[in-house]
Chains A and B, each alone.
Chain A
Amino acid sequence: MARLNVNPTRMELTKLKKKLVSARRGHKLLKDKRDELMRQFMIMVKENRQLRSEVEAGISEANRYMAVAGSVMQREVLETALMLPKQEVELEVSEKNVMSVEIPVFVPKYRTSDSNDIYSYGMAFTSIDLDGAVSALSEIFPKMIRLAEVEKACQLMADEIEKTRRRVNALEHIMIPDYEETIKYITMKLSENERSTTTSLMKVKDMVLKDSHKYS
């Protein structure tokens, strides 16, 4: 490990000791944050996977109906039928804070409360398969909204976990060992200085005594 480039003085030693204490505390806190984020992330990912397979199955079903509807109806008629929707969806977006990750929360608001308003066309000139496609989509739509929410949360949390993990590793494997080594170095240096002062003092004392009292 690399020793930091500092002067071996008592003041630096105190400074470094303080830094080491806060680095250790930061390390512990970040490690806790990482563990908790990971726990929440695993819950989210499980839900994400579940939702995604449900939504994909639902949309595939709607697409099957749509393919049939497209083959029995003229394309123009199909387009016209869906051209002017009666229903309109708006999203109310708020934020939820999970371990300092701001994840969005979507609440859908429909313009009309009548669930039949998804059929924006008369029944006379459209295939029944189109009804099937639209109703399959509308059934899966709440889950699609939830999927968007969960998937975004997973992405944001994955990013935050990665960042936190890097910080934890940097503290654990670089900063804390560096501080410890430098503190050791300064302590050694200081005590070495002290010993050297003591010995030279003893030597001087010897010399002085020898001179004045004619010892030895």
Chain B
Amino acid sequence: MYKAAVIGDTASVSGFAALGLTVFRETEPDKVKRLIAKLAASEFAVIYITEPTAALVSDTISKYRNSQLPAIVLIPAIEGNTGDGMRGVHEAVEKAVGSDILK
């Protein structure tokens, strides 16, 4: 059985604990990188990460982009939506089609 994790600042991710997801209140880039590597190696299939935290560790996230598991999904933090998540969708389109036809 796989589990789902949430990474981000305390205020943004606390609520997910109530749903039964495993919550990591971590925003230090180095620790987050190590955490993602550890989670990916163990039984976490989905990692939700807040956009500001994801922006700090984008190289680690792109490393897992083309592996089947885990799926790393960006979610808005409590400060609001930065649009990074939607940008990821557009990037995929650009990669596949050659230009962003969704614009």
A residues adjacent to B (C-beta < 8 A): 38, 41, 45, 48-49, 52-53, 55-56, 59-60, 62-63, 66-67, 70, 78-79, 82-83, 85-93, 95, 102-104, 106, 109-111, 118-120, 133-134, 137-138, 141, 144-145, 147-149, 151-152, 154-159, 161-162, 165
Contact = CB atoms under 8 A, between A and B. Distances in A.
Contacts of B98: 165
B3 A60 contact: no
Contacts, number: 148
B76 A63 contact: yes
Nearest to B94: A158
A151 B11 contact: no
Nearest to A161: B96
Interface in B48-94: 48, 65-66, 68-69, 71, 73, 75-78, 80-81, 85-86, 88-89, 92-93
Given A89-B19, A91-B46, A119-B18, A56 B71 contact: no
A150 to B, nearest CB: 9
**7 tightest A-B CB contacts, nearest first:** A87-B20, A152-B71, A88-B20, A158-B96, A89-B20, A158-B92, A161-B96
